[in-house]
A and B are shown apart, each in its own frame.
Chain A
């Protein structure tokens, strides 16, 4: 099912369907996470990922208009070469992942393994530092997103309305902007 979803992601022409099939993949994976006794991750996957992020995607797509990918673009040979290398890469990975001798597992109590409290405790003791880092990361991402998506008002005399005349942007040696 996950594989099917993945194939769907890369084959559907409409972005929407790609997103949906990605959701499919995620849900499938989340189930696997549960099997692998990672409850919290399971939950997070369902809620945050399949939920929030994907919805965000859908919004953007809706905002930008669900343009079907035109049948033929540039770079004819691209798909074939891409496929070729992908296969090569998969084969390599496969051969390397075959016959892996695993390490002996450290003994851990499977009862607590992966539970929410346990995760929480780990997160705020041993993983304090990475946790803080993620917070900074998100903060920065937020600021960036805000900056980028902020309506540029002409008062700042900054990049106001430059969108209307991209050609001026770089000292006047641009090719004309790509037209639809």
Chain B
């Protein structure tokens, strides 16, 4: 019942809030989100690290004719994403300005999207997973389209939805194919993991699943929806959109693609294609970020690069890599929202998002500059901040798979400071370009940022708090 509450609360709350008067809506939304976060945290705290299987499981027959069950459960992998999602939803809600038009609808949609994501991470029935997977597109689409920035948000929204759907509908064929091919007529992930179909079929199924996840993550070269979407997305939405939704794709790789299709080999081994693409994403994303002048786009592409690390770790197919990947999902989920928030605030104050048109803001807003450098350093993987551990472990895993991957991936580590420091120095340092007076960060914004930055330090200084609960990864037979 607990897990059901976790996804149902924000959904119901969101629906109600969408029809509330705007000036109440933010308060109610915050209460809902915080309540959800509380439940999620409680689950995380009572989580038993020594257990080898799913916990807090719920199972209700849903469509017995097709053996479709309402199955929920969490393990060492998903629990963190659930908590992260709940946390970021809170922050997204708090980051929403009450003055916004139709704030109540906006908040309602945000909560709905959070609920969908939570469902994706908790579902352990293939169809249920798929249902959440597609259902969360609906609020995402409306958020992008109705509240998007830029001149044609609708276009970006449609592009995003269609592109994602092209993958996930093929995945639907895969879901059905798995159901048919295994011959067991079940959608239970745990069971399916024990009865892989014949390699030839795995080959095809893995392809369709991997395609869907690759588009969602996004993985090079399926990322072309991302710049448009992130550019159009309003900042509060980006917190969950960039912070969590991308992880859903990576999570899909980890939860479904790998356990269900251990050896998708026909004339060609997919398990080598993905990591190569991941490395390509790392480098390509970094290069694109270097070429960007628009700060928002720069961050967007940087997250392409970081997602590359995550996927690389997952397809290292060993414990270090995959635990590092999960760690990195959480880390990136903490860092990217902070980046987007600060970029948006800086752009608000300066009036432009072009980093080359800015400069010397550090003198005007020292506190902002200080926090910004912390976030930037976390993003470029400085030891002592959270991202380092994740990248270290993913690369270690990749090295154990084959050193070349790690070496190429490490290029991303070298390129990261280039664009990240260009971002920081371009805005904060050098001679001041814009003369108009600017205020420093406000208290409310500081309050938003504080939890994220604290988490960056905590996870950076004591990552074991996560890894110790991820022992499940080793036992779940994920690392093959």
Direct A–B contact in the complex, CB atoms closer than 8 angstroms: no
Interface positions of A (Cβ within 8 A of B): none
